[in-house]
């Protein structure tokens, strides 16, 4: 992935097009990319900048580009209403008002989100601010500061990327057994100088939850989706849903080498081979070279965050994610543009419908959103905001998930978030809330809301 740091007021051209890419299998796969054969750039910009984009669609299908994690008006959010026809250009001015944070962008074309994102229509948008740029953290890009896009893939017998859906894939989401890092077969090797190394991680899988660990020592987490944690959190394993981002530090002062590992849950054929549990794959091996890098120590305090205060909420909304909707909804779901192989998924009894607004939210008011589900583990995402998790699956979230987030896990019991929206999202450009298993989203496990 190339690094793209636009100058102030410089127009940013992003071209979505078909490409051909070798993941390292020795064969060329048919892919999609943004200014590239596969995936897009890592965009780096600063709080206070407004990014004037020209998003060109050179695909033969309609697409959209959603800025996942940004606090921006609905009109420039890039959701399913901001369609870009083949040959057309979409030119939103995207204001960066929020703090330093790791965001990303991906296709959000309803019914095609899963396929287009899996094939490569995704990139990363890093926001820095004065505090992050002056923080005592490694920040020399591609030297001791790396962005890692983690994805799972299926390759056919010829080494070509394969993507397809079936009733089972709609149910589970599309999962592959091969780990790819920034579009290259894992493990990836990287030489680094002596010192701390910062890794900015995105789980860009369509459906796979990842269990991250280090070969030596714990994982040191410094930030979640919406910015820095109050202080460094050490954890043996970091559990990341599709769509989640975390930033971690690796201490390469004393160690000559260390490896970031990614655990895949054994399923189907692999579960019969290895039993249930994790297959652990090496993602990135860091090896220290003779250079001198960032020579600071592991940070203690990172940011000021108050505890979320649920008494500020003026309202509570309930969202019930539904895998099993019965046969009646399937025909409706199909008529409403959901792609679900003859089935349907829903939220509060309703599959996604582009011309139905499900919720109207008052701008600037704090609310509690409670989410539950009838089956399976799902990653729930809300557009246009960062929120704080009050509870996840009926209990407190892990320490690394207690900062600013835009994803919450939902399985057993209620997951509750404290949320507020500061920008307008009118009826013709509403925000989305949805499951980030992208096949579930295309299947109708999505709703839309206005803010005003």
Footprint on this chain of Cu ion (rule: CB under 5 A): 378, 435, 437, 440
Residue at shortest CB range from Cu ion: 435
Choose between 243 and 308: whose C-beta lies nearer to Cu ion: 243
Nearest distance from C-beta of residue 321 to Cu ion, angstroms:
6
Among residues 198 and 378, whose Cβ is nearest to Cu ion? Answer: 378
In whole angstroms, how close is the CB of 373 to Cu ion at the nearest point? 7
In the complex, least distance from residue 443 CB atom to Cu ion, rounded to whole angstroms: 8
Rank residues 51 and 437 by Cβ distance to Cu ion and give the closer one. Answer: 437
Residue with Cβ nearer Cu ion (288 or 353): 353
**HEC readout, the chain:** CCEECCCCCCCEEEEEEEEEECCCCCCCEEEEEECCCCECCEEEEECCCEEEEEEEECCCCCECCEEECCCCCHHHCCCCCCCECCCCEECCEEECCCCCEEEEEECCCCCCHHHHHHHCCEEEEEEECHHHHHCCCCCCECCCEEEEEEEEECECCCCCECCCCCHHHHHHCCCCCEEEECCEECCEEEEEEEEEEEEEEEECCCCCCEEEEECCCCEEEEEECCEEEEEEEEECCEEECCCCEEEEEEEECCCCEEEEEEEEECCHHHHHHHCCCEEEEEEEEEEEEEEECCCCCCCCECCCCCCCCHHHCCEEEEEEEECCCCCHHHHHHHHCCCCCCCCCCEECCECCCCCCCCEEECCCCCEEEEEEECCCCEEEEECCCCEEEEEECCECCCHHHCCCECEEEECCCCEEEEECCCCCECCCCCEEEEECCHHHHHCCCEEEEEEC
> Is the Cβ–Cβ distance between 209 and 377 less than 8 Å?
yes
Tokens of 14: 């992003």
Residue closer to Cu ion (CB basis): 102 or 340: 340
Smallest gap from residue 434 Cβ to Cu ion (A)? 8
Task: Return the number of the residue (319 or 423) whose C-beta is nearest Cu ion.
Answer: 319
Which residue number, 149 or 323, has a Cβ lying nearer to Cu ion?
323
Report in angstroms how near the CB of residue 167 gets to Cu ion at its nearest: 15
Which strands make up the sheet holding 446-451, listed edge to edge?
A: 359-361, 446-451, 431-435, 378-382, 407-410
- Of 249, 232, 351, nearest to 302 by C-alpha is 232
Q: Check: CB of residue 440 under 8 Å from CB of residue 387.
A: no
Min CB(172)–Cu ion separation in Å: 10
Least distance to Cu ion from the beta carbon of 173, Å? 7
- Min CB(448)–Cu ion separation in Å: 17
At 102, list the tokens: 């790791």
């Amino acid at each position: 992935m190339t690094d793209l740091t636009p100058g102030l007021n410089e127009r940013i051209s992003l071209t979505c097009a078909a490409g051909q890419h070798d993941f390292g299998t020795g064969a060329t796969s048919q892919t999609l990319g943004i200014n590239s054969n596969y995936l897009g750039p890592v965009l780096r910009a600063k709080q206070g900048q407004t990014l004037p984009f020209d998003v060109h669609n050179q695909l033969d299908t309609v697409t959209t580009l959603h800025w996942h994690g940004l606090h921006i008006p609905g009109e420039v959010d890039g959701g399913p209403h901001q369609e870009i026809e083949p040959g057309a250009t979409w030119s939103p001015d995207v204001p960066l008002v929020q703090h330093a944070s790791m965001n990303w962008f991906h296709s959000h074309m309803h019914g095609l989100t899963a396929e287009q994102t899996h094939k490569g229509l995704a990139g990363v948008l890093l926001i820095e601010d004065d505090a992050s740029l002056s923080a005592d953290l490694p920040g020399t890009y591609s030297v001791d500061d790396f962005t890692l896009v983690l994805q799972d893939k299926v390759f056919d017998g010829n080494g070509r990327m394969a993507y397809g859906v079936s009733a089972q894939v709609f149910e589970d989401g599309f999962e592959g057994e091969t780990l790819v890092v920034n579009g290259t077969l894992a493990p990836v090797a990287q030489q680094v100088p002596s010192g701390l190394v910062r890794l900015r991680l995105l789980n860009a899988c369509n459906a796979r939850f990842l269990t991250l660990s280090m070969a030596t020592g714990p994982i040191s987490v410094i930030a979640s989706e919406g910015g820095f944690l109050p202080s460094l959190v050490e954890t043996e394993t970091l559990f990341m849903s599709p769509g989640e981002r975390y930033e971690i530090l690796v201490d390469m002062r004393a160690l000559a080498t260390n490896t970031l590992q990614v655990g895949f849950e054994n399923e189907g054929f692999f579960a019969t081979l290895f039993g249930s549990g994790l297959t652990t794959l090496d993602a990135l091996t860091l090896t220290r070279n003779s250079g001198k890098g960032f020579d600071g120590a592991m940070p203690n305090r990172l940011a000021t965050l108050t505890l979320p205060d649920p008494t500020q909420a003026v309202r509570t909304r309930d969202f019930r994610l539904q895998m099993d909707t019965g046969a009646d909804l399937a025909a409706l779901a199909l008529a409403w543009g959901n792609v679900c192989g003859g089935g349907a998924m829903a939220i509060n009894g309703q599959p996604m419908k582009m011309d139905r607004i499900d919720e109207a939210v008052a701008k600037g008011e704090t609310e509690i959103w409670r989410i539950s589900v009838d089956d399976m583990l799902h990653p729930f995402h809300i557009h246009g905001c960062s929120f704080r998790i009050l509870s996840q699956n009926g209990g407190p979230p892990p320490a690394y998930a207690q900062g600013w987030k835009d994803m919450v896990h939902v399985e057993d019991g209620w997951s509750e978030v404290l949320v507020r929206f500061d920008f307008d999202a009118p009826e013709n450009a509403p925000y989305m809330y949805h499951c980030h298993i992208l096949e579930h989203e295309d299947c109708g496990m999505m709703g839309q809301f206005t803010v005003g």
